[in-house]
Amino acid sequence: MKLSPARVGLIVLGAALLGISVFGILVADVTRVTDLDAAAAESQFDAVLDSLDSGPPRLTRDGTGGFTNSTGPAGNIGVAPAHLGVLAFQADHNRFIRSEVPFWFFRLKGPVVRLALRGSGFDLDRLGLTPSDIARQGAGVILDESWPNGDRVLVWAE
């Protein structure tokens, strides 16, 4: 059976639309933005930190504004992360952002994850982290940073 160019075009168009739809659902499903006051946001941060069994964050900001990887042991070496999570709080707007991206998706589509984490204040490029780096170090807190104005970001793998 020979396929006509029009039929091939329709098949390709259908596959593209299906792919775009699945991508849209994944991106829309991983990020939640809500209005919370500072106390409620802080309790969300505490709940995540309490659920993780890891040491101090792996990344800290150095004097130049860049990030350095801690030399201490990672939280759970050998435990392959299932999710990459980000909590962010913007105090001036009482805006609370929670993103949890499946780790397989992060590995497969790192640039797409940047879109899924939009608005969270989390920039993978600035941190210089790759999915391989995070997988090698295992589950645990990657970054926990607060600013004097009340903003905060927490990044973890679990």
**3 domain-assigned:** no
List pLDDT tens digits, range 96-143. Answer: 989 888 888 777 766 666 665 555 555 666 666 777 878 888 888 888
Q: How many residues in the chain?
A: 158
Task: For residue 16, tell me if it sits in a domain.
Answer: no
Chain centre distance of CA 80: 16
Is residue 96 domain-resident? yes
Q: Count how many Cα atoms sit within 13 Å of the Cα of residue 5 in the half-sphere of its side chain.
A: 0
* Mean pLDDT in residue range 17-44: 75
Residue found under tokens 């309490």 = 50
Query: How many domains does the chain divide into?
Result: 1
Token reading at 109: 């589509």
Enclosing domain of residue 117: 31-157
Please tell me the predicted confidence (pLDDT) of residue 14.
73
Asked whether residue 146 is assigned to any structural domain, the reply reads yes
For the CA atoms of 148, 52, 95, 123, the dihedral, rounded to the nearest 10 degrees, stands at 80
Residue 70, domain member (yes or no) = yes
* Residue 38 dihedral angles phi and psi, to the nearest 5°: -60, -40
45-60 mean pLDDT = 86
Contact 26, 105 (CB under 8 A): yes
pLDDT value at 20 more than 70: no
Which of 36 and 13 is assigned the larger pLDDT? 36
Would 61 be classed as within a structural domain? yes
Residue 15 covered by a domain: no
Could you tell me if residue 109 is inside a domain? yes
Q: What confidence tens digit (pLDDT) does each residue in 23-32 have?
A: 555 555 567 8
